[in-house]
Structure 1
Amino acid sequence: MGRHGWLSGVGRWRLTALLGVAAVAIALVVTLLNTLPGDGSPVGTTPDGDRVHGTPATPARTGPDVGWGFTHTQFSADAGSPEAVARVEERLTGTGPRTDTGTDTGTGAPLPQNQHIMGWGADNPEPAKGRYDFAALDRRIDFARATGATPVITLCCAPDWMKGGEPGTTDWSRAALETAPDPAHYDDFAALAATVARRYPDVRHFVVWNEFKGFWNDAEGRWDQEGYTELYNKVYNALKEVDETLMVGGPYLVMDSVDPRRTDLASTSLRGPWGALDRRVLDAFTYWNTHKAGADFVVVDGSSYTKDDELLPDEFTATDKFTAVGEWVRARTGDLPLWWAEYYVEPADGDDDRTGWSEPHRVAVQAAGLMAMAEGGAGSGFYWNPQNESGPDCAGCLWSPTDTPDGGRELPMGRLLSWFSAAFPPGTRYREVSVAEGDRADVRVLASDRTTLVVSTRDRPVTVRVDGERLRLDAYEVRRLTPTNRPTP
């Protein structure tokens, strides 16, 4: 997970472009070089001299829960046809039409947006110690600002020189990207994290690392929770030194599950019809939770299917795993808000693509997954957006590719995420919903005082009774009910 589109193809800004002329007085060049980072992008300075990129925006949310949004991957709407980019920006800010036909999709506050500091659309931020290249990251943060989003930064991955590579080089192979920094460079990575935090003062939420990448203890056949926690604590402390009000979370573990019949890996304490958690994951989480320097929120990720790509006992019931994991985590972390950094409900093929289901089927199961996470106590989650650079098809994407003027149009998954984010923001109080006994297998339902979301789990039309009201749903239909459009019994 978290691997789609890991290469970075973003070009660099040139110093000459900033100067605007080929010949400039040497004194002016020297002055500029003393105030520019390695990428040559413009910066301002705070009173204490910290570098700031751009004009800091006001995040939509400043508390430890940010709501339901998405993660930028290799291709996103920060580049492409200006018309298509503008179309996505309008949708994400809620200022454009809700659909291409002008009907309302329930878009409310801008969707929070997550971006990694290296990979998934961002270049190596520090190719050599003390030499920075933030051009690509700047553009992603600026895109979030332009759409009024709450930006989130995931502090992964590490420059090559922090993990045995040559300074000034970048190996974009998957194996290299997923290598953790050497322990001798944990302090350097923490310093990079602090530099990032100073550069973007309006970013208030930071996730430390991604999926324990590179943190595996081969000798003992388990996660290297000790190494990750040491890195986490150094980053946590470095960020708090920049600003003690910054919000930091981890451990971003993959909550892997296995067939419950396995006796070597299956947990005996966290299991259900969907499988059993890999006990090594729970051990790693427990170690981090016990030895962490602190946390403002807790982060996990995972899939509803097992490590062997089994959906037990079916794709909708398998999403109950998200609820069970959430309840287990919340029971051990008290009042800490729970985030899902990534969540998956459809097994991928060998190329990490998820194209086996129709879009209505995909959206229905994704809706069930979002419901299950909310029922497990989560207030924030990030959809890993598998955006394509070009082409007419984009399975599971939030918008059509932005390479042409006609691109950037909202797709069904984007509509669902907008609905869910607007209907169930952080702090939502959920209420019990009655479903007729014979109809319970046909629908999934989540409700607050103002919104009810109903999802058909069938590949055929069904008629059900929800809260005493009779509904006829098409195959895999996702329907949002509000007080103004509730049907008559």
Structure 2
Amino acid sequence: MRPRRSLPVLAALAAGLLALTGCSSPTPPATGEITDRSAAGLDLGRGWEWTPQGAPLDLGVTHTQDSLDDHDPAESNARGEAILRDSAVWQNVHLMGFGTLSPEPAPGQYDWSTLDKRMELVARTGARTVLTACCAPDWMKGGVAGQTDWDRLEVAPLHRDFQAYADLVAQTVQRYPQIERVVVWNELKGFFDMTKNRWDHEGYTALYNAVYTAVKAVRPDVQVGGPYPVMISLPTDDPNASEILTGDWGAIDQRILDALGYWEAHKVGADFLAVDGGTAQRGGTISGRLDDAAAKFSDVTRYLRGTTTLPIWWTEFYSEVPEGMTGAADSQASAASTLASVAAFARSGTSVALLWGPQGSSLEYSALWTDATQPGGGRPTPLTQAWEWLVPRLAQGTVELGTAQDAPLIAFRAPDGSALVVNVSDETVPVDGQQPLAPYAIGIRNAPTA
């Protein structure tokens, strides 16, 4: 375990730090100019260990059920859109579900209305477009044509309708030239074989291959990837625990690694490998420092990079908070936990990480703006300004990742000397001559002036 106490070096740190959240000062506007309140420079040298960013990292978002929809209050949407413009290299939209209706409710009958609106939002806010090819119209999975039973959203299409689904995805990328990437399906939904107690990786790979082939036939410029499994953490003594991918955070479910291995061996082609997961073990919580829990993301990414040359995408990631802490869009702990995860992605060479649900909701995770379905919504959260600071810098691939050796702090440092610092613990960090850094505090320091 790392030492938990601070040294006088933190006086220099705080002297040059603009406290954004977790301290007594209010959070500045998300799009406001960051100003350093101190004339002193921020010394991040003595007492810190630094490593270069593993690869350029594109941060983005996945739109979910409610995300700046046109039936929401106009002022809330306008505030949210102002944040979104600075918050994503990529924006991800699902083909069906998570805010969009069935695009083909009956064979040959199309309804693109909700997908049109989501694509317009992405284009209007200046991001690049990802399509998650999930989920499937009911008639492709044994349901009634013309009807949608949303309780069966996560049912996979029948094997006989894999080609029909692939054809629908191909039509989608033709309709929306802005789509640059397609992720095939979501979390292997509907593909678990209860009789064999494992994933039906053969069935998923057959669907994947049909979609890949159909998309490349009409839009060879579109990059396609999968298989988008959940990298589930288990206790190391669980009978399904892997013996080869483990850490202080537990062990990955071996059945997921088997599914990845089958897909890798039998796919017709791929441009990137997509996964998702959270920092906690299944059904559990985390404890201690947030960066210790987030080390799972580094460990898994490095393992995957050792098995493939494909870029690694984390299409969802869930940064838990310790037991007793509240996780939500307005949670300081959630924001700090999310930043610890981003640091883990940046260290390990992740290519893309997508924040699930940028709009605040009932989910107990970070968001970038508050619930815009409400009249006062669309406002910044504790994560907003730090995320906006990171987006362009991580995309350039030149950020250094730092860890204080004598305090529970991590940092991101840009080439110009500006930095983002996060308290990754529930401890108040004492600082000589300054106010202490509150638990889970987040701060940005401007570049030093000559």
Query: TM-score per shorter chain, which class?
Result: 0.7 to 0.9
Aligned-partner SS, 1:238: helix
1:480 aligns with 2:444: yes
Q: 1:327 aligns with which of 302, 307, 332?
A: 302
**Which amino acid counterpart does residue 182 of structure 2 have in structure 1?**
F
**Which amino acid counterpart does residue 211 of structure 2 have in structure 1?**
V
Q: How does 1:380-399 map to 2 (within 5 A)?
A: 380-385=352-357, 387=359, 396-399=366-369
Cα distance in 1, alignment partners of residues 179 and 378 from structure 2: 26
Cα gap change, 1:471 to 1:112, in 2 (>3 Å): farther
Cα distance in 2, alignment partners of residues 261 and 117 from structure 1: 39
Q: How does 1:92-103 map to 2 (within 5 A)?
A: 92-94=84-86
Aligned-partner SS, 1:153: strand
1:313 CA drift (Å): 6.0
| Contact 2:166/2:214, CA 8 A, preserved across alignment | yes
1:305 aligns with 2:284: no
Cα gap change, 1:434 to 1:72, in 2 (>3 Å): closer
CA displacement, residues 78-113 of structure 1 (integer Å, 9 cap, x when unaligned): 32122222222223224xxxxxxxxxxxx6xx5421
TM-score (norm. length: structure 1)? 0.74
**Which amino acid counterpart does residue 213 of structure 1 have in structure 2?**
K
Q: 2:67 aligns with which of 54, 76, 83?
A: 76
1:366 CA drift (Å): 1.1
1:89 aligns with 2:61: no
1:479 CA drift (Å): 2.1
1:58 is aligned to none
Cα distance in 2, alignment partners of residues 464 and 248 from structure 1: 49
Q: 1:130 aligns with which of 108, 121, 138?
A: 108
TM-score (norm. length: structure 2)? 0.80
1:409 is aligned to 379
1:280 is aligned to 255
Cα gap change, 1:313 to 1:227, in 2 (>3 Å): farther
1:311 CA drift (Å): 2.0
2:180 is aligned to 204
Aligned-partner SS, 2:439: coil
Report which stretch shifted further, 193-202 or 69-78.
69-78
CA displacement, residues 193-232 of structure 1 (integer Å, 9 cap, x when unaligned): 0010011011111110000001112221001111111111
Q: How does 1:217-296 map to 2 (within 5 A)?
A: 217-262=193-238, 264-296=239-271
Cα distance in 1, alignment partners of residues 435 and 299 from structure 2: 29
Cα distance in 2, alignment partners of residues 374 and 205 from structure 1: 21
1:364 aligns with 2:336: yes
Cα distance in 2, alignment partners of residues 157 and 279 from structure 1: 26
**Which amino acid counterpart does residue 117 of structure 2 have in structure 1?**
R
Q: How does 1:368-379 map to 2 (within 5 A)?
A: 368-379=340-351
1:67 aligns with 2:58: yes
1:344 is aligned to 318
Q: 1:188 aligns with which of 164, 173, 182?
A: 164
Structure 1 residue ranges, 4+ long, deviating more than 6 angstroms after superposition: none
Report which stretch shifted further, 72-81 or 446-455.
446-455
Q: How does 1:143-222 map to 2 (within 5 A)?
A: 143-173=121-151, 176-222=152-198
Aligned-partner SS, 2:183: strand
Cα distance in 2, alignment partners of residues 316 and 389 from structure 1: 25
| Contact 1:309/1:347, CA 8 A, preserved across alignment | no
**Which amino acid counterpart does residue 187 of structure 2 have in structure 1?**
E
1:459 is aligned to 426
Cα gap change, 1:434 to 1:89, in 2 (>3 Å): closer
Cα gap change, 1:229 to 1:81, in 2 (>3 Å): same
CA displacement, residues 94-150 of structure 1 (integer Å, 9 cap, x when unaligned): 4xxxxxxxxxxxx6xx54211111111100111111111110111011011111111
Percent of matched pairs sharing the same residue = 38
Cα gap change, 1:482 to 1:367, in 2 (>3 Å): same
| Contact 1:116/1:155, CA 8 A, preserved across alignment | yes
| Contact 2:329/2:368, CA 8 A, preserved across alignment | no
Cα distance in 1, alignment partners of residues 375 and 359 from structure 2: 17
Cα gap change, 1:453 to 1:386, in 2 (>3 Å): closer
Cα gap change, 1:371 to 1:464, in 2 (>3 Å): farther
1:191 CA drift (Å): 0.1
| Contact 2:330/2:366, CA 8 A, preserved across alignment | no
Cα gap change, 1:156 to 1:444, in 2 (>3 Å): same
Cα distance in 2, alignment partners of residues 320 and 131 from structure 1: 47
**Which amino acid counterpart does residue 480 of structure 1 have in structure 2?**
I
CA displacement, residues 135-179 of structure 1 (integer Å, 9 cap, x when unaligned): 011101101111111121100001001000011111011xx1111
Aligned-partner SS, 1:125: coil
1:484 CA drift (Å): 3.1
Cα gap change, 1:327 to 1:131, in 2 (>3 Å): same
Cα gap change, 1:280 to 1:474, in 2 (>3 Å): same
Counting matched residue pairs gives 392
Q: 2:406 aligns with which of 417, 435, 438?
A: 438
Cα distance in 2, alignment partners of residues 298 and 215 from structure 1: 18
Report which stretch shifted further, 163-172 or 310-319.
310-319
2:19 is aligned to none
Cα gap change, 1:159 to 1:485, in 2 (>3 Å): farther
**Which amino acid counterpart does residue 270 of structure 1 have in structure 2?**
L
Report which stretch shifted further, 375-384 or 357-366.
357-366
**Which amino acid counterpart does residue 418 of structure 1 have in structure 2?**
E
Cα distance in 1, alignment partners of residues 135 and 289 from structure 2: 35
Report which stretch shifted further, 180-189 or 305-314.
305-314
Cα distance in 2, alignment partners of residues 416 and 222 from structure 1: 40
Structure 2 regions of 5+ residues with no counterpart?
Answer: 1-54
Structure 1 regions of 5+ residues with no counterpart?
Answer: 1-63, 95-106
